[in-house]
Chains A and B, each alone.
Chain A
Amino acid sequence: RKEVEQDPGPFNVPEGATVAFNCTYSNSASQSFFWYRQDCRKEPKLLMSVYSSGNEDGRFTAQLNRASQYISLLIRDSKLSDSATYLCVVKRGGADGLTFGKGTHLIIQP
């Protein structure tokens, strides 16, 4: 079983729409959770951390369900600039590196 699983997409979404991504993780010892964004041939960039209580940052809302080992990201009022690959990322703790999912490819269409 893959450590972090995501639907690879692509998700083709019209500008202004709301889109949701999910991911599941297999390691119950994971302690920290993130969504990163990666543009084509670029480095991953942190979009937001994900907290158990859920958190929002502008148009972006992230949720975590530890019992189901499930993380979600909601993007409202999508912009053309939101087109990218969204990476679900978990971390066990300590000096462990980040464990990435393969990413979900989002294309916002005008």
Chain B
Amino acid sequence: EPEVTQTPSHQVTQMGQEVILRCVPISNHLYFYWYRQILGQKVEFLVSFYNNEISEKSEIFDDQFSVERPDGSNFTLKIRSTKLEDSAMYFCASSEGQGGIYEQYFGPGTRLTVT
């Protein structure tokens, strides 16, 4: 069964450093998403991406964040200057379409720890 993959599984970085989290969505999917989950909190939407541009973003997705699809397979989330409060699990998701009938498949996540 095709699945979303994410690397690395765990990233430790120092405050102020840049990090890039990587995702490989399911190959025939066209819509890509990033979510985050702070430990003990709910899953929160960050951004959706389609046709090489951002479709929608939440208030969390400020100027420190950017997304890119640098090639035909990878989808990345960059955090320019990490803060302690960026420590969370970051999930990538993809779907074939954007309507409610299309399931969003989640990757296993990258645990980001900012020290």
Contacts and interface: CB of A to CB of B under 8 A. Distances in A.
A97 B46 contact: yes
B43 A93 contact: no
Interface stretch (A12-20, A44-52, A69-77): A44-52
Contact of B56 (A33, A41, A95, A102): A95
Interface in A78-110: 87, 91, 93-103
Interface in A26-55: 31-33, 38, 41-46, 49
Could you tell me the dominant secondary structure of chain A's interface residues?
loop
B55 interface: yes
A32 B100 contact: yes
B109 A97 contact: no
A96 B100 CA distance: 10
B108 A43 contact: yes
Contact of B48 (A43, A87, A97, A100): A97
A100 to B, nearest CB: 4
Contacts of A96: 45, 48, 56
Given A96-B45, A103-B42, 16 more contacts: A42-B108, A43-B106, A46-B104, A46-B105, A49-B100, A49-B103, A87-B43, A91-B100, A93-B99, A94-B55, A94-B56, A94-B98, A95-B31, A95-B98, A97-B35, A97-B56
Interface of A: 31-33, 38, 41-46, 49, 87, 91, 93-103
